[in-house]
Structure 1
Amino acid sequence: MNFKSPNFTLGLFCYFYFMNMESLYAHFLECTTVCTDTRKIEKDCIFFALKGDNFDGNKFAEQAIASGAKYCVIDDKNYKLDARYLVVEDTLKALQDLATYHRTKLNISILALTGSNGKTTTKELLNAVLTKKYHTSATLGNLNNHIGVPLTLLQMHQDIELGIVEMGANHPKEIESLCKIARPDYGLITNFGKAHLEGFGSVEGVVKAKSELYDFLKEHEKTIFVNEDDPLQIKQIADYPHVYKFGSSKWSDAKLELLKSQPYVSLTFNTTVINSKLAGSYNFNNIAVAIAVGAYFEVNKEDIINAIETYTPTNNRSQILEKGSNKIIMDAYNANPTSMLAALENFKQLQQDHKILFLGDMFELGDTAKIEHQFIVDYLEKNNLGTAHLIGKNFYQTTTKKNNILKFETFDDLKSNLNSDELQHSFLLIKGSRGMALERILDLL
């Protein structure tokens, strides 16, 4: 070995100058938790100074220490004031590598899930079922991206037996990257739909990108859970042996059938009737996934039933609320063309005299935005679901000849023109992308 070569000298410099993973992990173990936001610093946490388009976390390192952080991980040596500042080459990569390193130290199995719709609800149902038998840890909220997944892994500890990791993506290769970080042992895809078309380009692009989870699991000979009634999913796992199938077929490993979806989803699990508190037939698959996975992991059948029947949706996801004389389906957690159409189909089936809709723009559709929003308007014209209030720039640019389809470019426009006296003794559907924040409509009733 040439000890005088430039490559050796640079490598030696990097090894001693930058924090190596074993040393960084030792510092991590001294801390209570991981933080990436100085507004949420917890005492004795380890702070990662991440960078964004409009900020440099290194500039907040001193503030993090002053607020109670035990260590700060930075990638600009100019901000190193003392031994509490740990210098790495790249803070984001260090966070991700640390998460993977921690994951390898834990003697646990990881169940990963992704999909176009229903990820968060499915994750919560899975956790409700699996926690009946195992010590579980699941993604908090929607921390499902290149930062959220590492944070999810780093909050797991040795007592955990099964980790549930939600994975989101809006561009190709993101799921592949998240799989390399989390290294799942099991996985499932809720569905393939028209979501994030701006990044994926088409539904075919969605299928290919989401299936990166299946690709990882197949490469490492891990187990896949799949809905046997979904031909797109069956196509993706053709001839793969390590598959646990659920669906309506008598040959399914877990036989599940939808009984009704009004007002809530009821289904059978191997002839046993289960009554949920989730509205809409689109939630049947989310429930079915949780039941099937629970059966695979040998959770007691009565415990599975109890977990499903006592689960109550929160955070604007398929909630049925009452306010005054009105009953409301609050589904404003997020929206894309697939989930929007599913919500409308479900609302159409409701046997109610006076129905009103509040629909907000669907984001991240790229060049297809105009077509997809017009498709929803065309659906409303063909199906009389009641008075529809469409909110947002995309819906505002659509065309309609119906007097019962009202368009508002902004939420303030809706607020200024809405006659709350007309919103009495009605059944409402509120659905839109998260950025529309349509839960504000509740304050107008």
Structure 2
Amino acid sequence: MNHILYSTEDLTGILKAESFIQNKDILIRTILSDSRKLSDINHALFFALKARRDGHSFIAAVYEAGVRSFVISDSEFDTGAYPDANFYMVDDTLMALQDLAAAHRSKFNYPVIGITGSNGKTIVKEWLYQLLVPESNIVRSPKSYNSQIGVPVSVWEMNEENDLAIFEAGVSKTGEMENLARIIRPTIGILTNIGEAHSAGFESLNDKIREKLKLFEGVDLFIYSDKYLDQYDGEIPGKNKFTWNYRGQSNLEVFDDEVLEERFQFLRARFNGKDVQAMIPFTDQASIENAIICWASLLALGYEPEEADKRLEKLIPVGMRLELKNGINNCSVIDDSYSLDLSSLAIALDFLKQQNQHQRRTLILSDIPGTDSEALYEQVRNLLENKSVDRLIAVGEHISKYAVQYPFETECFASTADFLEHFASIKFHNETILLKGARAFEFERVSQLLTQKVHETVLEINLNALEHNLNHYKLELGAGTKIMAMVKAFSYGSGSFEIANLLEFNKVDYLAVAYADEGVALRNAGCSLPIMVMSPDAMAFETIIQHKLEPEIFSTRVLNQLIEVLNLKNLENYPVHLKLDTGMHRLGFMEDELDELLEILVNSKGVRIQSVFSHLVASEDPKHDEFTRYQIDLFFRLSERISKNLNYSFMRHIANTSGISRWPDSRFDMVRLGIGLYGIDSAYDSKSPLQTVTSLKTSISQIKNIPAGDTIGYSREGKMPEGGKIATVKIGYADGYRRGLGNGKGKMIVRGKEVPTIGKICMDMCMLDISGIDAAEGDEVIVFNDQIRVEDLAKQLDTIPYEVLTGISQRVKRIYYYE
């Protein structure tokens, strides 16, 4: 894979930069913008983007890692402090990144498909790749890289070996598409749909459509459904247009459909005056529409209807998510085997490097489809070295040919079958394993052998959504306020080291746990962040000190006990956190206890106050705003008193999740972010900017037709006077689905429809009334997600979301995924 190399003169001209060149021999083929994700350092160009944290502040670390080329915009930056490095001074580093990608795009004349819409962009892109790859060498956006940064990163991957490109573009407000359009410059445009998603940044539906259509100005061919543009008042772009519709006049008019064998959708349509048909291996509405878009695209590109039908029937689901699961022999398994190219490999390796729970990292990698070039596998080698891979298991004839020369532990197998035949003799123990294979290698068989066999009910944790929520609060807080992330109680039921790794990777400042053993587990999993222990006792002080944890001190008794242990160990200035009671009346020093506290602190060298904090009682509730104001004022006054008696400074924090959102003046030096990370913040109404992080899913064990008058479950409380159909599902109160949700109070989603529970909730299962639903045994059942929300279940149970999330049993399998 031969990427164009850019010289210092090339870059100076393209970026219109004021250059400070100290090494003219450096050639660039890789662009970087995240100091945590470095690769190909000898040929990399780092863009110091300005976000919550200014990219200029990471240049020292990036330089230390070996990168020697930088695009900057800070005129005060000391370039002289970095010998043999090249700097390109520009007005705006993001615009410079986009300019460079646009210049790179202009070097290629092969067709480029641009895709935008409210939903379905990534699915349509991946399915078009499946459909067109037999005769094309395609470059495409990795995963859902469609943003102001993601698009230039995607387009940068274009090279001379390709003969087709497919890129997606996403916008959330007016004024964003123009830059993406000049980078992609599509020759073929596809509009997936226009819906409610991401509508907040537009004044009207027409405004939203107008912005999206900017991507297609000047395209040779525009493919769309006229049902989404029938109310649009502007000009529709495209020298040529191809329309599709469902029971509406268009170039491809779908007029009939039928479900076959419960897993195929048989479609009939009119095209060029003839009846045509297509078989699609999906039956849900979203997949059907996405497949029709692909059908229309094939026909618009000149494929014969019979060939299009043949290819559509072979479509396979797009597993766009990278999943982290518990594996055999105390391993962690990262499954990302839905597609394989150099870009997606780099993304997966970044996620592997982020995992600290095991010291050893193993990559199981197949041949990269499309080419067998030494240059490609040399780039693979560089990636693996940069990303700290300890062992490579190479599967495939091409990669095995080159991997034997790689300078780390390597095992090679000619095929997946060969690897599986030798599986029993390969040692996997206490390591993180990344599975990255092209679809043809069927790595799902490998995943089944490596993954722990556990309870079929699963709690899925969307790490993208958690990262989104963290970034939302970061932007709201600004750079001057630190974040302490609450990971107590198994991170609200979502996991321990898995969440802590993500938080550490995203540079939160502190973690907080309830008990010392939670902190020890994080330390054993490789977490190096400062960790506050909120409920320490004297018996745990040895453990706390041994693992460099920082205890909360809430009484003179606890303080004196700690000082005694520190004196015995001859330790001084051990970091602790003082808890003040400003109205919660649970733990903490009252105002009349401060004199005694200060006397101990002034006369002891054993401890050093790292922070002083308190707890807001009702920051989310407007009816208690007067009391919240009282707490904030009291906290300020008491912490000031402590500060005046100590000869050093410390941090202050009182704001919890809803305090961050509703009380800006409560943020002080640091905030404690808890359930907001998981998309729940009672300060927001239904239009919350947060994303749902957790989804609880199970499956149907059995379906029964119940005669009229029969009852269901214990105590015969489930009644069906007219009879009907029930499904028994694999979740009960031992899993955390509370008994209070029985007898119709709780609802779950089966085949896209909400259905009620019937009868009492059992220990390991419960029953649903699925009368009128065309369901099958083995079907997925959603217990909660972004439709049936955790908040909804909490209201039904007259409790709070915290209790619902933390009540999910440990026997429920956790799957962490990253899209």
TM-score range for the pair, normalised by the shorter chain length = 0.5 to 0.7
Paired letter, 1:385 = V
How many Å apart are 1:141 and its aligned residue? 0.9
Paired letter, 1:315 = M
Residue in structure 2 matched with residue 161 of structure 1 by the alignment: 163
SS in 1 for 2:200: helix
Residue in structure 1 matched with residue 267 of structure 2 by the alignment: 267
CA distance in 1, matches of 2:461, 2:243: 29
Match of 2:285 among 276, 281, 287: 281
CA distance in 1, matches of 2:305, 2:461: 30
How many Å apart are 1:276 and its aligned residue? 3.2
How many Å apart are 1:122 and its aligned residue? 1.0
> Which shifted more, 152-161 or 42-51?
42-51
Tell me if 1:211 matches 2:581. no
SS in 2 for 1:131: helix
CA distance in 2, matches of 1:137, 1:227: 26
Paired letter, 1:414 = L
CA distance in 1, matches of 2:146, 2:129: 15
> Do the aligned partners of 1:396 and 1:408 also contact (CA within 8 Å) in 2?
no
Matches within 5 A, 1:48-59: 48-59=46-57
Q: Deviations over 1:105-151 (max 9, x none)?
A: 21133221111111111111122222233222111111111001111
SS in 2 for 1:287: helix
> Do the aligned partners of 1:129 and 1:291 also contact (CA within 8 Å) in 2?
no
> Do the aligned partners of 2:461 and 2:816 also contact (CA within 8 Å) in 1?
no
SS in 1 for 2:115: strand
How many Å apart are 1:231 and its aligned residue? 5.4
How many Å apart are 1:102 and its aligned residue? 1.1
CA distance in 2, matches of 1:393, 1:385: 13
> Do the aligned partners of 2:47 and 2:97 also contact (CA within 8 Å) in 1?
no
CA distance in 2, matches of 1:28, 1:145: 32
Tell me if 1:73 matches 2:66. no
Q: Deviations over 1:263-308 (max 9, x none)?
A: 4544346655433344411221211111221222234656544543
Tell me if 1:172 matches 2:165. no
> Do the aligned partners of 1:75 and 1:88 also contact (CA within 8 Å) in 2?
yes
Match of 1:199 among 184, 201, 206: 201
Tell me if 1:385 matches 2:755. yes
How many Å apart are 1:233 and its aligned residue? 7.1
SS in 2 for 1:293: helix
How many Å apart are 1:392 and its aligned residue? 7.6
SS in 2 for 1:38: coil
CA distance in 2, matches of 1:305, 1:165: 24
Residue in structure 2 matched with residue 7 of structure 1 by the alignment: none
Q: Deviations over 1:377-426 (max 9, x none)?
A: 9x99xx7523574468994666999xxx66985477235156989x9xxx
SS in 2 for 1:102: helix
Distance 1:245 1:67, change over 3 A: same
Structure 2 length as normaliser, TM-score?
0.38
How many Å apart are 1:158 and its aligned residue? 2.2
> Do the aligned partners of 1:31 and 1:70 also contact (CA within 8 Å) in 2?
no
CA distance in 2, matches of 1:78, 1:266: 65
> Which shifted more, 102-111 or 408-417?
408-417
How many Å apart are 1:352 and its aligned residue? 7.7
> Do the aligned partners of 1:19 and 1:87 also contact (CA within 8 Å) in 2?
yes
Runs of at least 5 residues in structure 1 that lack an aligned partner in the other structure: 1-15, 341-349, 359-376, 424-437
Structure that is richer in helix per residue: 1
Tell me if 1:315 matches 2:332. no
Residue in structure 1 matched with residue 300 of structure 2 by the alignment: 296
Residue in structure 2 matched with residue 416 of structure 1 by the alignment: 807
Residue in structure 1 matched with residue 492 of structure 2 by the alignment: none
Equivalent residue pairs, number: 368
Residue in structure 1 matched with residue 30 of structure 2 by the alignment: 33
> Which shifted more, 237-246 or 132-141?
237-246
Q: Identity of counterpart residues, as a percentage?
A: 20
Decide which structure has the larger Cα Rg and report it.
2
Residue in structure 1 matched with residue 549 of structure 2 by the alignment: none
Paired letter, 1:354 = A
How many Å apart are 1:210 and its aligned residue? 3.9
Q: Deviations over 1:211-244 (max 9, x none)?
A: 32324534x3643211144454776656976311
Matches within 5 A, 1:11-50: 19-21=12-14, 30-43=27-40, 44-50=42-48
Distance 1:48 1:400, change over 3 A: closer
Matches within 5 A, 1:105-254: 105-200=107-202, 204-205=204-205, 207-215=206-214, 217-218=216-217, 220=218, 222-230=220-228, 232=230, 242-248=240-246, 252-254=250-252
Distance 1:230 1:51, change over 3 A: closer
SS in 1 for 2:36: helix
Residue in structure 1 matched with residue 96 of structure 2 by the alignment: 94
Matches within 5 A, 1:421-440: none
Distance 1:386 1:106, change over 3 A: same
Paired letter, 1:168 = G
Larger RCO: 1 or 2 (CA < 8 Å, sep 6+): 1
Q: Deviations over 1:5-46 (max 9, x none)?
A: xxxxxxxxxxx9x93317889x99933422222222112342
SS in 2 for 1:187: strand
Tell me if 1:354 matches 2:727. yes
> Do the aligned partners of 2:112 and 2:186 also contact (CA within 8 Å) in 1?
yes
> Do the aligned partners of 1:391 and 1:410 also contact (CA within 8 Å) in 2?
no
> Do the aligned partners of 1:64 and 1:72 also contact (CA within 8 Å) in 2?
no
How many Å apart are 1:185 and its aligned residue? 2.2
Q: Deviations over 1:318-375 (max 9, x none)?
A: x9xx9989699x99798999xx9xxxxxxxxx998428799xxxxxxxxxxxxxxxxx
CA distance in 1, matches of 2:248, 2:126: 27
SS in 2 for 1:247: strand
> Do the aligned partners of 1:265 and 1:281 also contact (CA within 8 Å) in 2?
no
Residue in structure 2 matched with residue 84 of structure 1 by the alignment: 85
> Do the aligned partners of 1:391 and 1:408 also contact (CA within 8 Å) in 2?
no
CA distance in 1, matches of 2:190, 2:303: 18
CA distance in 2, matches of 1:392, 1:240: 37
CA distance in 1, matches of 2:290, 2:181: 22
CA distance in 2, matches of 1:38, 1:419: 35
SS in 2 for 1:294: helix
> Which shifted more, 262-271 or 174-183?
262-271
CA distance in 1, matches of 2:152, 2:47: 14
Distance 1:352 1:52, change over 3 A: farther
> Do the aligned partners of 2:113 and 2:165 also contact (CA within 8 Å) in 1?
yes
CA distance in 1, matches of 2:165, 2:799: 43
Q: Deviations over 1:31-78 (max 9, x none)?
A: 342222222211234233333433222232343344343522223342
Distance 1:245 1:233, change over 3 A: farther
Distance 1:236 1:64, change over 3 A: same
> Do the aligned partners of 1:153 and 1:182 also contact (CA within 8 Å) in 2?
yes
> Do the aligned partners of 1:316 and 1:439 also contact (CA within 8 Å) in 2?
no
> Which shifted more, 167-176 or 48-57?
48-57
Distance 1:127 1:23, change over 3 A: same
CA distance in 2, matches of 1:187, 1:28: 40
Residue in structure 1 matched with residue 62 of structure 2 by the alignment: 64
Q: Deviations over 1:159-215 (max 9, x none)?
A: 3222211111221221233113322222222111121243336xx34x522432324
Matches within 5 A, 1:330-349: none
